[in-house]
Amino acid sequence: MSEEIENIQFELTDELISQVERLIEARDNKALQKLLKDFHHADIAEILDELDLDEAIYIIKLLDSETTADILMELDEDNREKVLRNLSSKEIADEIGELDTDDAADIISELPEDRKREVISHIEDKEHQAEIEELLAYHEDTAGGLMAKELVKVYETWTVAGCLRRIRGQAKEVTRVHSIYVVDKKNKLVGRLSLKDLIVAKSDQKIAEISNSSVDSVNVHDDAEDVARIMQKYDLEAIPVVDDNQILLGRITIDDIVDVMKEEAEKDYQLAAGITADVEADDSIWELTKARLPWLLIGMFGGIGAASIINGFSDAMLKFPALLMFIPLIQATAGNVGVQSSAIVVQGLANDSIDGNVLSRLFKEFLLGLVNGLAIACIVLLISHFVFQTTYLESLTICVALISVIIMAALIGTFIPIFLDKRGIDAAVATGPFITTSNDVFGILMYFLIAKLILGF
């Protein structure tokens, strides 16, 4: 027995993929089944993601639907879409019959409208079908969109022994029993039990006696990100979902929340990098362009704005050419400071760790900008004077401009995300190129205005 135990160490090698490809080409179904039998469905999905569509579909059709349903769930979304397009509605319905209601609803919701109805009509288990239809009615970004109907439910009037007997039936359909939910006769959620409580209790005790009545729940219309935050904060592994009348509708488990968290983190990261849609390195050039070009255009208009400002000061430029050299420095510094400030605020907002007072936060950023600005200005002063031999007034201009621009960038980078958040807009959009572009333009304008003041052109 102990030989079968091993640390997880699946590695997707080129040899493995070509072995699978050779077996598919040779139509050697027996060898294929034998090879894939020992792999976890998540690993098989990784293999399929590397194969051609025809080959992937060949394997999906070869393996039994219990395995392939799980594989489908783990495939790249793009690949899953392609595979599903090549399966009949009946075949998809068979796969879906093997999945929990939440996964089943996720897959169906990815299908085109007309196929949705067809696939649903082919689901054989009528109860499963009705539950999936119920879930499809909720928005995907709500608790209802995340929850599964599979749960273990007992009535408060049952005894421990009767309860153990009856949940043996329910539990077989539930992959993981996190909690047993206690309901009254109207299906209102009134408490919670763990399997452990049940095992530790005496068999003639009533459920109402041993259940924990302070059970946390979320409303079916609550925002998915809020549910994620709650489960994380309170270290919950599952949470029941109720309607406005506290009727138990379903439960959300931590693995779904892990996915929500990951998507959220990736989205914020991409927004900060100026990528608007959810893209991956392997997407097509067209998809990548659609996601990337919008921010590049905004950056471009910023650049044109900066060009207009420089153009407006063209006489001064020719009188003080040294000033021009430092435009890139001013611009880069303004951009970097703005991104730093906004990232800290955006993260603080996401963690709810930023408390109300905007003015004190702006004052802190002002001080921070002053400290950083003084440090950088000192170094630039020395370099500009000794290396570029700027005049006394030119050096002064550059240093005053640097400090001012750093403070301005820190204030803008702090203020805009807080402002957006108060207006109910996701502050994450205000990072990256957005902050950089506005700071570029304001920074250069400020630079020339300070130069005008000091050098008097």
**Calpha distance 132→108 (Å, rounded):** 9
Distance of closest approach, residue 254 Cβ to a second copy, in angstroms: 5
Rule CB under 8 A: say whether 304 interacts with a second copy: yes
Rule CB under 8 A: say whether 424 interacts with a second copy: no
Distance of closest approach, residue 375 Cβ to a second copy, in angstroms: 6
Question: What is the largest distance, in Å, between two alpha-carbon atoms of the chain?
Answer: 96
In the set 247, 277, 332, 425, which binds a second copy (CB under 8 A)?
Answer: 332
Which one, 95 or 222, has the nearer CB to a second copy? 222
Q: Which stretch binds a second copy (CB under 8 A): 53-61, 117-125, 130-138, 339-347?
A: 339-347
Rule CB under 8 A: say whether 242 interacts with a second copy: yes
Who's near 208: CB < 8 A, 6+ residues apart? 156, 157, 182, 191
Q: Which stretch binds a second copy (CB under 8 A): 19-27, 60-68, 128-136, 304-312?
A: 304-312
In the set 24, 32, 193, 275, which binds a second copy (CB under 8 A)?
Answer: 275
Considering only residues 194 to 213 of the shown chain, the ones binding a second copy according to CB under 8 A are 194-196, 198-200, 208, 213
Strand arrangement, sheet containing 189-193: 152-155, 180-183, 189-193
- Cα 131 to Cα 66, 128, 239, 385: the distances in Å are 19, 5, 18, 75
Instruction: For residue 91, give the H/E element and its range.
Output: helix 89-97
Q: Which stretch binds a second copy (CB under 8 A): 86-94, 109-117, 128-136, 362-370?
A: 362-370
Which one, 120 or 447, has the nearer CB to a second copy? 447
Q: Are the C-beta atoms of 407 and 370 separated by less than 8 Å? A: yes
Considering only residues 433 to 452 of the shown chain, the ones binding a second copy according to CB under 8 A are 433, 436-437, 440, 444
Rule CB under 8 A: say whether 191 interacts with a second copy: yes
**What is the x/- site pattern for a second copy, positions 33-72, by CB under 8 A?**
-------x-x-------x----------------------
DSSP state string for 368-418:
HHHHHHHHHHHHHHHHHHHTS---HHHHHHHHHHHHHHHHHHHHHHHHHHH
**What is the x/- site pattern for a second copy, positions 2-21, by CB under 8 A?**
x-xxxxx-------------
Rule CB under 8 A: say whether 187 interacts with a second copy: no
Rule CB under 8 A: say whether 359 interacts with a second copy: no
- Cα 288 to Cα 258, 271, 418: the distances in Å are 26, 14, 30
Chain centroid to Cα 369, Å, comes to 31
Two structure tokens written together for 111: 């299908």
Two structure tokens written together for 206: 């009533």
Please name the residue ranges forming H helices in 284-357. 285-312, 314-319, 321-325, 327-350
Which one, 94 or 103, has the nearer CB to a second copy? 103
Considering only residues 111 to 130 of the shown chain, the ones binding a second copy according to CB under 8 A are none
Q: Which stretch binds a second copy (CB under 8 A): 91-99, 120-128, 132-140, 257-265?
A: 257-265
